[in-house]
Chain A
Amino acid sequence: MYRKKIFILIAVVMLFSLILSACEPERIVETVVETVIETVVVEGETVEVVVEREVEVEVLRDKEVLIYNSYASDPAPREADAEIVEMFMDEFPQYDVIHSTIFHEDFKQAIRAYLTASTPPDVLTWFAGERARFFIDNDQIMDISDVWESEGWLEDYPAGFRALSSVGGNQYFLPTSWYWWAVYYRVSVFEDLGIEPPTTWDEFIEVCETLKANDIIPITIGTKYRWTTGAWFDYLNMRINGPEFHIDLMLGKESYEDERVLAVFDAWRDLLENDYFLEDAAAYSWSEALEPFITGEAGMYLMGDFIRDSLPPDVIDDLDFFRFPIMDPNVPIGEDAPTDGYFIAANSQNPEAAKAFLAYLGSVEAQTYNAEKLGRLPTHTGVDRSMFNEAQQKGLALIDGADYVAQFYDRDTRPEVADMGMNVFMEFWDNPGDTARLTQLLAELDAYRIEVFGLE
């Protein structure tokens, strides 16, 4: 009796799962223009006339299914993303987009599994630069030069972005938005203490001291997922040694044991040993570390503009930013301005649908929506700049005023090296005074750099 019950239960469940897995795609109704030859009597004579009639025929055609995976997991981008998908499906009802949003950090890990599966997602969000380059070189990304041409992007997208997306004259990537990095601060906190946004390193240290003296955490940061430490490395390196050295280091052409790199850690050590950072930073993700920033217990946060996505409106009103302070006026100014975009998997099962979706994503309509909703900077020159808000204008000016634009630590160098590098930063953060250990770590990192870049 017991057995029978279990049997029935199992049978029901298995039936249920079978039904679920065989979900039928939606059907659509199409209007078809039919050409009909009719016989008409004209002036007593029977004449054959060709007539075109619009007939609504129920052409039960399956909707084309498109799999779209996105890493936009923070609340605001997640919503905007869903909206864009809706807008696309409204305009092109013959497509059915299966949209999955995966937690940002998990996506970065899972992407290779996505691409190598026999049914990969058709369209994926991804980073421009070295990270995309890797997949392009391994034939995992579909050539979309035809889309670039047919959509007119070769003219409408600035040369820089075109170069970023091309390898060997063909385009593989669609860059759609980018944002700047800066030191964000609470205007009210600064005002209360009579602090001016600093422009030089000495001024910056002074600001930190003032905040600290008034029981405010000078700089908040969440290093649980490590990449926030990369920002500090990037900026310290670019300010002290210049963007050219920084990029060469990213491309494996310079050594991590170089004394210029040690200088970066020296400056970093100063900040850490003076307790300018949030304590136990490693316990918090970047957005968890926003807590003290929101409550006014912390004054500054080195972060990308997407910081707005996770802030309540009253804090956004109280938000402003300044360029990472200059340490050496003779050194060219480098900034991190990561570019995000999309690509189509090389093994996509439905390239036509994917290309249609991509065309939409790169259009003025979609980009204007994103720029308005999220405050990102669009890549399409057709987007009306006059509608940019104050922050966007200021951010644009910030980047325009830079001599060189980098993508970000873990996007400019090989992922394995970035992984190890960020672990070095984390260990250093935990015990900055242990110079012997740092030397050892940098030696190991450099050995790995040589191995990965195939320089031995």
Chain B
Amino acid sequence: MRMLRRPLRLFRRLRALLGRPRRERELEDEVAFHLEMLVEENLRAGMSPAEARLAARRAFGGVDQVKEECRDARGGRFVEWLLQDVRFGWRVLRRSPGFTLVAVLTLALGIGANAAMFGVVHAVLLKPLPFDRPDQLVAINTTRPGVPLDWVSAPDLRDWRSSRSLGQIAGYASQSVNFTGRAEPMRVVGMFVTTNFFATLGVRPSSGRDFVAGEDEPGAARVAILGRSAWQTIFGGDPAIVGKTLTFNGQPFTVVGIMPAGLPPWFDADVYLPMCDYPNFSLDRAKPSAAVVGRLRDGVTLAEAQAELTTVARQLAQHYPATNRDRGVVLRPLADVLVEDVRSSLLLLLGAVGLVLLIACANVSNLLLSRAASRQRELAVRTALGAGRRRLVRQLLTESLLLWGLGALAGLGLAGPAVELLVGSPFVDAGTAVPVTDRAVLGFTLGLSLVTGLVFGLLPALQTARVDLHAVIKESGRTMSGARGRRRVQSLLVVAQVALAVILVTGAGLVTRSLMRLNAVDPGFGADHLLTLEYRLPRNKYPKGDEQWNFHKRVVERVQALAGVRSAAVVRALPFSGNAAGCAFVLTDRAPPPAGQEPHAELNVAHPRYFETMEIPILRGRGIGDEDGADAPPVVVINRAMAQRYWPDGDPIGKTLELRGAILDGGERRVTIVGVVGDIKHGALDDPTEPQIYTPQAQLPFIFATLVVRTEIEPMALADEVRRAVWSVDPEQPVWKVRTMESLLSRSLRPRSLTALLLGIYSGVALLLAALGIYGVIAYVVSQRTNEIGIRMALGAPARQIVRAVVAQGLALAAWGLGVGCVGTVLLGRIVRSQLFGVSAADPLTFAGVLGLLAVVALLASWIPARRATRIDPASALRAD
């Protein structure tokens, strides 16, 4: 106590200084009043005023000392008791290290998982974008029938600039850029931007200058701004790079600035170039070519800006009906757009770890309750020595909070490495900082621990502190009153645990089943033994279509000649690569639909050997042939879904179509169908099958191509040779994304696999904890009924009967939990639905599986203590009481 006195004093003085000015003033007034009364008394006794004051002072004694002792008297006990409780609690915990270890580990798991998940959610979803006033930033897209989110054409963007609600509107488009003039041709990530792009976002180059107006007009001097990481990795962080000239896409650009680190991956690039140098840049209103970000003016709401731009869109539709008649506009908060892919997954996982924590807390609560039995005597003694019930509850609660505090510490320790595992996963872009020691994450973790610790610590504390002195002493602490109440609370906790575990396990089961369903989906082509890479020809080097086609053709010839290559082809958009194109089409053998309502198809541009290389079956007619040259009649091959939709009974071969769309340079093209091939999945395995059209590459040449190679050996083993084969055609041509088709397929499943994996881990932990909960209660019940079981065995009850009775109790608990859990699952099914594929949220097979799994777990968890019950020696059981 003596040791604590000084810090206590200090604490109180601090509190007096900081928090209690009113109380201090009152103390001052009270003492002053007393002094005055003394002075008056002395005056009445006939002293002179000076004498009276002096005498009063003397009589009162040390004013400051009195004040100090008043402060001590007030609230001091609370702190003292708290410290006493903490020290006592610490001793109690140390006395039973096994219990403490299990409880702290359980809590560390629950709290750690939550800290990690919240860290991720905070870093990805909640943290404001690292821009000036980020809530003013909006993503702007156009819409047209069938396309809810389209890009924006350069003229439309220019017309929007007069908007009153948006202060700045900037366009940007990301595309790989060939960087040459150094030892090896390189592909870098390029972003083509309007000159006000960085000003709109509210970031400035860290050295050099920003783009200035006019630099994105054709004919202006070519300037570039480097991204931070490219500046560091490619140019070694050389500050003298500003002012130098570099070659991008075959054109010289003068570097004028370097961006700072910390741009979100969405906007990060190796090099930023003016919009007019974007290869797909067009002044045609029919060709949307840029994504758009805008900044709302101060005080303007999203709805107001949306209303204004909608009006503008309507005016544009009147002025330019040919291109803008059906074009709408949609504004969304930029922060939402950047995370919309991962939001639902992350929130689902956060909810799941929340459930894990609840289960963990219930478990520790239960452990504390079980321990109450063995502490009954200690508490009775303390009650007898004068500790009130409130004092006991507070002591027990302090112990619980100590446990939760230790759990939080250990949990934070676990959360750090756990978060590292998630960075670079589909949910957290590589390079994102997810500090678990961040103030928000720490606050969340401590708050969470405190709240759960109070709730789940209070329950056992209230139960435990219900000490009936007489009963304890009379029954010599062997069996105790309050046991029934405690058992009821324990049972409730276990039912809740099982119910929560059921929800988690069912969720994990549904997501896993969806993943299995997806894995079983046939993509429509042979995905194994395929090597792919991408390249983009510089337009100034290969300006004409036939030059581009010649390049592709020669690449295929060179690769085809390599040993170990079975077949090779180039295609414009490889499935699962993220590249895709589409077009509208009109069937010429029937009445055309109203303008603007033409059906759409995925359009791909393929080499003659594409179907063979991909192993896409030709079902009717022929594939694309070498004869389909630039001067031959234009032909297409369609997929089965399109044939069945439009010619369910007839033969599509020989029918003609009119293709329209940006990919055809806005023109129309009449083509003849020469073949039907099998359907393939293009974007994702859970895509519905849509009409697909293939045109010969010779008839629609393009600078961008994906090379796809079917190999006889492990595909990556040929990577270097294939790359060299491309360079043998042009040593200056960069190639990138050298990878296998299988890696693309598994990448498309990665978010789902990760969700399934994490949910699987969580539900495993949940099941284990629930099993421990059941075990704990049943073991406790057995210990309570030792006496009764002993008598029954003495009277000749067979062991099987006793086991059955005990196990039945465990199963009853599990059944209740299962029932509640199923109701909960049905109620929560909506949340998980977005993650499902080919499985209903009420999938009977999953539910049956969960039922079976839980039955087994409950059986095991109650069988072990039941077995122990039968080993009770009747004689000693009876004697023990």
The judgment on whether A and B are partners is no
- A interface residue numbers (CB < 8 A to B): none
- B interface residue numbers (CB < 8 A to A): none
